[in-house]
A and B are shown apart, each in its own frame.
Chain A
Amino acid sequence: MTAGSLPNQRTNRLGKYVMPYLFITVPMISFVVFLLVPMVISLWWSLNDYSGIQPAKFIGLKNYIDLLTEDKYFLPSLWNTTVFVLLGMGIGPTLGLLTALLLNQKVRFQSLFRTAYYLPVMTSLVVVSTIWVMLYNHNGLFNSFLTTLGYQPVGWLSNPNVALVSVAVASIWQGFGFETVIFLAALQSIPRELYEAAMMDGANAFQKFRYITLPSLRYVIAFVYIYGIIGSYQVFDQVFVMTSGGPVHSTSTVVYYLFSKFQDLRLGQASAIAYILFAILVIFSYVELRMSREKE
């Protein structure tokens, strides 16, 4: 052992054991202070009748029971959100995959198209929603087109049977560029040799898609759906800007309803809604992860 080896060893040990903890200290503090502590506080509030101004009154699970059994608007809001998720997840990723498949061909100006499809994703949801409100307007582009063809204008945002679909369409348009870019990146990482080998074996385009493309994308598909479902269940901005939950609560979603409870300083009920939503998302994420692991 040389004279200088002991301090070096100490420095190495310090670097090996202490430095990683130092590096994660800041994010951990941020996680605890801004996420964990508020989550625990929110859980406590959900068990109380609490306005934030008057002292909290412990009521056990009453907020949860009321929301799930008596509240006139919570379950409809949950149903609206589920329909929104089904519409978004039914169309968005499929549209994203189709667009990615098209862009993955030898298309000229590929990067231009890619940017064009991604542009709405980068645009603020408030801006996108405002634009779509104009399009859906009584005298907007869609109704002008319909009246030109001799049809009656549609109450895109004022007809309770149509409004939720209108909000979902705007959201799909805004979001599918994200899925396109993700799928395109995944498609470009599939080895060419697989397709060449399939071609040698006489596989047609559908078979190549079914047996090479789809299996290669399974993790990306799982990611897109988990990410999409979690995001869609938290839909808020579009509803806030386009309909304020109306008409007749037909576009009221879980987070919008949570927001309205918060605005009314029903912090206990708002927290209970947040935890119900959290439970739903945990279940979805778990099922989705299990499915992708089983496929593996």
Chain B
Amino acid sequence: MKTNKVLIGMLLILSFVLGACGGGAQPAASNEKVTITVWDYYGEATPVKPLIEGFQKENPNITVQYESMDWDTTLEKLNVVLTGGTPPDVVTVDMTWFPKFAALGAFTDLKALSGGKLNGAAWDQAYTPGGLEAITYNEQIVAALYDFDVYALYYRADLLEQKGLQVPKTWDELKDVSQKLAEGDKYLYQWLPETFHGSQWIYENGGDLLSADNKTVVFNSPEAVQAIQVYLDMLTNKSAIYWGADQGERIQGIKDGRIAMFSDGPYNMGIMKSAAPEMAGQWRVALHPYGKQPGSYLGGTGLVIPAQSKQKEAAWKFIEYAMRLENQIGVYKYAGAAPALTAALQSPEVNAVDPYFGGQKPFEVFLEAMKTAKHFPYVRQWNDIDVAFSTAMEQIGLGQKSVKDALDEAAATATDAMSK
């Protein structure tokens, strides 16, 4: 009797659990009404939400269920739904999440789904070679690059002019200019102890994080050690400020004059315009100074279709709609970010004179930086590599270890992770 009760109970639970797990929608015929779910992490200044009305008008059979959430929540929820099996149909994904998801085969191959074309044009015509490479994994295209992020030098043009200094183009010039610009704890170069900035210095000296075949850790090569040493020298000679957790938001440092130079992507222009409008005309952007060659990490936002999506055709229609030239311009118009489509980036609406940056055309600079930028390696152990390298950067910046010791130790840790 007791056993029967236990069995019945277990069956009830099982049926409940199975009931909750099952019931996914089936792929729809082309004229059948379908609903796609779109997750958007842009927040209030989203370029995605304004697309919905026009898209639904054009595709009356497709209803878009739109969900807005912040960057952190998107990553957490994506982790949960990708492992739980009921993901949305279109998601805005940060390219820094790519190594893990791409290596695990979490996203649909858009090359196959699109028949090799994006809005009628071949994929390689839509993007720069770097942009296309960033969305390619194992010969599949796993995202439509929606906005891009590459780093350039932001600098206080007014201070440089006051002191009769030229915009630095090389590391030597950067060292010289930053020393002449610094006044105690003011007007410094922002020193960030993490992979985005550390890797930029390494790329700029002809080094890399991993070898070309992604099999060997090389961020402790002589070029890399030399690059990080030059970066560290800026801290040692007090022309840079170590930006730890208690320095606050960068924009505070920009406003109170602690920061006069820093390296970051185009999205930062929007932050400066809204948070420091009183500084209009004081700032400019330039290609980041380099040792042997220009370099930057390449990131941004991709639009992806999770592999388990049940409405891939409709989801692809939405992505193609979002990637139309006029809608790509919306990335700049609404979010102030850099649209990834080359045609959009070169359009007069985006590539316009910007009064905040003293009448400069800032996107010209970022487009130039994009030509030599490279995405982080798409390997499953990327997080381990990132943690090991950024830990070394902290140790170097805090003076706990020499550049070589820290990078060697981190390389050993990363190599160990890659061997598993």
Interface residue ranges, A against B (CB under 8 Å) = 29, 32-33, 37, 51-54, 70, 72-73, 133, 136-140, 155-160, 163, 242-244, 246-249, 260, 262-265, 267
Contact = CB atoms under 8 A, between A and B. Distances in A.
B420 to A, nearest CB: 8
B13 A246 contact: no
Instruction: State the 5 A-B residue pairs at the shortest beta-carbon distance, nearest first.
Output: A52-B83, A158-B244, A157-B245, A157-B246, A264-B383
Nearest to A249: B391
B257 to A, nearest CB: 12
Chain A residues touching B, majority SS: loop
Interface in B222-273: 242, 244-248, 256
Contacts of B247: 137-138, 158
A53 B82 contact: yes
B383 A37 contact: no
Contacts of B105: 53-54
Nearest to B20: A33
Interface in B395-415: 395, 398, 400, 413
Contacts of A70: 416
B218 to A, nearest CB: 20
B76 interface: yes
Contacts of A33: 13, 16-17
Given A158-B242, A248-B395, A138 B248 contact: yes
A133 B248 CA distance: 8
A248 B248 contact: no
A73 B384 CA distance: 11
Contacts of B244: 155, 157-158, 247
Contact of A52 (B82, B413, B416): B82
29 contacts: A33-B17, A37-B17, A51-B83, A52-B82, A53-B104, A54-B105, A70-B416, A136-B246, A137-B246, A137-B248, A139-B256, A155-B246, A158-B242, A158-B246, A160-B398, A242-B245, A243-B245, A246-B245, A247-B193, A247-B245, A247-B394, A248-B391, A260-B387, A262-B79, A263-B383, A264-B100, A265-B79, A265-B83, A265-B104
A140 B79 contact: no
Interface in B260-291: none
Contacts of A158: 242, 244-247, 398
A263 B72 CA distance: 10
Interface string B118-161: 00000000000000000000000000000000000000000000
Residue of B79, B106, B245, B398 with highest tally of chain A CB at under 10 A: B245
Interface in B362-385: 383
Nearest to B99: A264
Given A244-B245, A263-B75, 19 more contacts: A37-B13, A51-B83, A53-B83, A137-B247, A138-B248, A140-B246, A157-B245, A157-B246, A158-B242, A159-B398, A160-B400, A163-B245, A243-B245, A248-B398, A263-B79, A263-B383, A264-B100, A264-B383, A265-B104
A240 B412 CA distance: 27
Contacts, number: 83
A137 B242 CA distance: 14
Interface in B79-116: 79, 82-84, 100, 104-106
A32 B12 CA distance: 11
A12 to B, nearest CB: 22
Interface of B: 13, 16-17, 75-76, 79, 82-84, 100, 104-106, 193, 242, 244-248, 256, 383, 387, 391, 394-395, 398, 400, 413, 416
Nearest to B82: A53
A72 B412 CA distance: 11
Contacts of A246: 245, 394
A158 B125 CA distance: 46
A267 B104 CA distance: 13
Nearest to A72: B413
Nearest to B10: A32
Residue of A73, A138, A246 with highest tally of chain B CB at under 10 A: A138
B250 to A, nearest CB: 12
Contacts of A247: 193, 244-245, 394, 398
Nearest to A242: B245
Contacts of B75: 263
Nearest to A243: B245
Nearest to B243: A158
Contact of A138 (B106, B193, B246, B395): B246
Contacts of B193: 247
Nearest to A134: B248
A102 B193 CA distance: 47
A32 B413 CA distance: 41
A40 to B, nearest CB: 12
Contacts of A53: 82-83, 104-106
Contacts of B100: 264-265
A51 B413 CA distance: 21
Residue of A72, A137, A140, A249 with highest tally of chain B CB at under 10 A: A72
A158 B246 CA distance: 6
Contacts of B387: 73, 260
Contacts of A157: 244-246
A31 B84 CA distance: 20
A73 B383 CA distance: 13
Contacts of A243: 245
A139 B257 CA distance: 13
Contacts of A32: 13
A110 B100 CA distance: 55
Contacts of B104: 51, 53-54, 265
B412 to A, nearest CB: 10
Nearest to A28: B9
A133 B252 CA distance: 14
A247 B387 CA distance: 12
A158 B241 CA distance: 13
Nearest to B5: A21
B194 to A, nearest CB: 10
